[in-house]
Amino acid sequence: MGRLGTYLTGLAIDGFISGSSQLEAALRFDLTFAEVEAEILELGFWPARYQRNRQSITCEGQLDLLRNTAAVIGCGGLGGYVIEELARLGVGRIVAIDPDVFEEHNLNRQLLATLGNLGEYKVTAAARRVRGINPVVVLVPHRTAFSAENGRELLAGATVVVDGLDNIATRVELIGICGELGIPLVHGAIAGWYGQVATQVTGDGISRLLSCAEAGGRGAETLLGNPPFTPAVVASLQVAEACKAILAQGKTASGRMQTLNRLEMEFEEIRL
Amino acid sequence: MQVTVKLFASFRTGRAPIELCEYPDGATVADVVADKGIPAGEISIMLVDSCHVNLDRILADGEILAIFPLLGGG
């Protein structure tokens, strides 16, 4: 065991190392918070912030989360909650993509929108939020719209992609690019009291789930709007899917889509 | 012939969520959609007995047709 390992072992209490001890170690050994966290987990100890992750995620799994990257496309209703949960979960790198600034009509549902940051880029607010939650997480902000032209470059290095887009046409492009790159994609979409979640792993394209019966169709959200409770629940389901995709644990919603009806509290499963 | 029509999410507004309906032989999914007053441009998934179908699918007696709206918000 090296000097850092010996030092950390001396600071562990019941297998946990506090955030202040982690910071002290980073300063003493001139390392980043994330580098110290990796060493803590490699030693089989737990950063104290993850005490309640521990019963659901192994120490090795927590290290996997730290070493992997999730790309979040869209930082609005779904994306805001997705980024929040990925940061608290401990995913080491989050690539956040959104061209927009916060507007007043975002305040009803977008976790990252506040009275104080109206007019600010959503990805800038996301980076600040993540820094305030978990210092090991690096959020890479992209103030741009995801497209067929920039998509491959933006997704390079991502372990998993989470769909927080607000339109169907770009989603279809995202599905195609993720399939081409072989990166798992966790799709989510919302409208009113209703939502849906599906996970695409290589070779089981989910574009059929977003195809319209008639050309030029529009999503129900244009008529139903987006109340606050639907993005929160759909985003949480997406983060659970992304977590499983990174950890190769459990059973993802691959090959099927879960639809949610919050008005009548119903779930339906649609097979691809 | 009789077809069970199941509607989901916003398509239930002002319509029965599940209904046994009478249609002439040869009726298609498009005929049911028109009968229910659902704009085809708002439909995403259509299933007959859990298999994906298109608007031109001819229905048979006793089948169950399920129709889901297109969701695109985020």
pLDDT tens-digit readout, B16-65: 999 999 999 999 999 999 999 999 999 999 999 999 999 999 999 999 99
Q: What is the 3-state secondary structure (H, E, C) of chain B?
A: CEEEEEECHHHHCCCCCEEEEECCCCCEHHHHHHHCCCCHHHEEEEEECCEECCCCCECCCCCEEEEEECCCEC
Contact at CB, A270 and B71, closer than 8 angstroms: no
| The predicted structure's pLDDT at residue A253 | 86
Gap between the Cα atoms of B74 and A72, Å rounded: 12
Please, are residues B44 and B73 in contact by the beta-carbon 8 Å criterion?
no
| The predicted structure's pLDDT at residue A211 | 85
| The predicted structure's pLDDT at residue A16 | 98
Claim to verify: residue A186 and residue A211 sit in the same structural domain: yes
Residue A270 sits at the chain B interface (C-beta within 8 Å): yes
Going by C-beta distance under 8 Å and a sequence separation of 6 or more, which residues neighbour residue A265?
A: none
Claim to verify: residue A162 and residue A189 sit in the same structural domain: yes
Please, are residues B56 and B30 in contact by the beta-carbon 8 Å criterion?
yes
Most distant pair of Cα atoms in chain A: their distance: 66
Residue A257 vs residues A92, A209, B22, B40: alpha-carbon distances, Å:
28, 8, 30, 21
Q: What is the 3-state secondary structure (H, E, C) of A32-99?
A: CHHHHHHHHHHCCCEEHHHCCCCCCCCHHHHHHHHCCEEEEECCCHHHHHHHHHHHHHCCCEEEEECC
| The predicted structure's pLDDT at residue B44 | 95
Claim to verify: residue A223 and residue A253 sit in the same structural domain: yes
Alpha-helical regions (H) of A90-167: 122-133, 151-155
Backbone angles phi, psi at A238, to 5 degrees: -65, -40
Residue B42 sits at the chain A interface (C-beta within 8 Å): yes
Contact at CB, B9 and A259, closer than 8 angstroms: yes
Please, are residues A185 and A174 in contact by the beta-carbon 8 Å criterion?
yes
Task: State the burial class of residue B44 (Cβ atoms within 10 Å of its Cβ: 0-12, 13-18, 19+).
Answer: buried
CATH number of the domain residue A80 falls in:
3.40.50.720
Claim to verify: residue A72 and residue A13 sit in the same structural domain: no
Instruction: Return residues 124-183 of A near B (CB < 8 Å).
Output: 163-168, 171
| The predicted structure's pLDDT at residue A215 | 73
Please, are residues A87 and A80 in contact by the beta-carbon 8 Å criterion?
no
| The predicted structure's pLDDT at residue A262 | 95
Please, are residues A188 and A196 in contact by the beta-carbon 8 Å criterion?
yes
Domain limits of chain B?
2-69
Q: Crossing angle of helices A33-42/A19-29, nearest 10°?
A: 110
pLDDT tens, chain A, 272 aa long: 799 999 999 999 999 999 999 999 999 999 999 999 999 999 999 999 999 999 999 999 999 999 999 999 999 999 999 999 999 999 999 999 999 999 999 999 999 999 999 999 999 999 999 999 999 999 999 999 999 999 999 999 999 999 999 999 999 999 999 999 999 999 999 999 999 999 999 766 888 888 887 777 779 998 899 999 999 999 999 999 999 999 999 998 888 999 999 999 999 999 98
Claim to verify: residue A114 and residue A156 sit in the same structural domain: yes
Count of alpha carbons within 13 angstroms of residue A161, beta-carbon side = 31
Q: What is the number of structural domains in chain A? A: 2
| The predicted structure's pLDDT at residue A214 | 78
Domain B2-69, classified CATH 2.40.40.20, yes or no = no
3-state secondary structure of A223: helix
Residue B47 sits at the chain A interface (C-beta within 8 Å): yes
Domain range enclosing A38: 3-60
ipTM over 0.85: yes
Claim to verify: residue A23 and residue A113 sit in the same structural domain: no
Claim to verify: residue A194 and residue A255 sit in the same structural domain: yes
Claim to verify: residue A22 and residue A80 sit in the same structural domain: no
Gap between the Cα atoms of B11 and A220, Å rounded: 10
| The predicted structure's pLDDT at residue A204 | 67
Claim to verify: residue A251 and residue A144 sit in the same structural domain: yes
| The predicted structure's pLDDT at residue A202 | 75
Q: How far is A222 from chain B (nearest CA, A)?
A: 8
Contact at CB, B44 and A210, closer than 8 angstroms: yes
Gap between the Cα atoms of A177 and A151, Å rounded: 7
Using a CB-CB cut-off of 8 Å, the residues of chain A touching B45 are 208-209, 270
| The predicted structure's pLDDT at residue A234 | 98
Claim to verify: residue A101 and residue A132 sit in the same structural domain: yes
